[in-house]
Amino acid sequence: MRNGKEHQDRIHWRRQHVVRPELLQGPLFLRRTFGQFARAGGHRRRQDEAGRASFAQLRNDVLSGTAAIPSHWFTPSGERHVTVIDGIANDRKQFIESGIVYNRGVIPNLPSDLAVEVPIMVDAAGVHPTSLGPLPDPIAKLLSVQASVQQLAVEVAVHASNELALQALLIDPVVNSTIAAAQLLDELWEVNRAYIRRCM
């Protein structure tokens, strides 16, 4: 059971981040919602940099012996990667409800090079995905389209290409306005300019 403050914090977060119904109207939906997200907290560059600097200082202080190790460093985080590492390093069979792996036939009616989220088993031999069989055909087709959008988005990131970014937006079936997509892209490209660089 959550304590009262945590519950109130979650409610406050939801009120701040759930898309308001009036924003779902009209062709500027994309620009309004994603533009607001980018400005309101989707990209908190200064906070991220301050947080990294603060952690680096604490880490250095702990390593030099001028600060005690914070107690929360010893508290399990609940992150699933800890269970995976433990299973592999200590040869403990661990079942995890969902893990992201290369498809490689786990879901037979999706391309093998996609990342899919499926139940996994972990032991000293590695990560073993569990196949639940093929998806219903309409769902597999919808996911294939979305996977194509995501694969193109990866190309955008690798090549830092504004032109490919627009193409990725336009092939997404939920985008219903070329004008809104172009405006959204211009706005987000500018907000993220410091992070955009070619990787290859």
Domain encompassing residue 153: 27-75+136-200
d(CA 190, CA 181): 14
pLDDT of residue 6: 52
pLDDT of 18 higher than 80: no
169 and 147 part of one domain? yes
Residue 168 lies in a domain: yes
pLDDT of residue 48: 79
- The tokens describing 20, both together, are 């308001």
How does pLDDT run across 88-107, given as a tens digit for each residue? Answer: 999 999 999 999 999 999 99
How many structural domains are present in the chain? 2
98 and 51 part of one domain? no
pLDDT of residue 79: 82
pLDDT of residue 65: 94
pLDDT of residue 200: 73
200 and 140 part of one domain? yes
pLDDT of residue 77: 78
> Which of 135, 152, 175 is the C-terminal boundary of a domain?
135
Helix (H, G, I), strand (E, B) or coil at 92: coil
How does pLDDT run across 41-85, given as a tens digit for each residue? Answer: 545 667 778 888 999 999 999 999 999 999 988 887 778 888 899
91 and 141 part of one domain? no
> At 5, is the pLDDT very low, low, confident or very high (cuts 50, 70, 90)?
low
Residue 56 lies in a domain: yes
97 and 70 part of one domain? no
pLDDT of residue 194: 87
pLDDT of residue 4: 53
Residue 8 lies in a domain: no
pLDDT of residue 116: 93
pLDDT of residue 45: 67
Its pTM stands at 0.57
How does pLDDT run across 134-193, given as a tens digit for each residue? Answer: 999 999 999 999 999 999 999 999 999 999 999 999 999 889 999 999 999 999 999 988
Output the CA–CA distances (angstroms, integers) from residue 156 to 10, 43, 114, 160, 187, in the order listed: 34, 18, 17, 5, 16
67 and 98 part of one domain? no
Q: Contact, 103 vs 115, CB < 8 A?
A: yes
Q: Contact, 118 vs 106, CB < 8 A?
A: yes
119 and 143 part of one domain? no
69 and 85 part of one domain? no
41 and 99 part of one domain? no
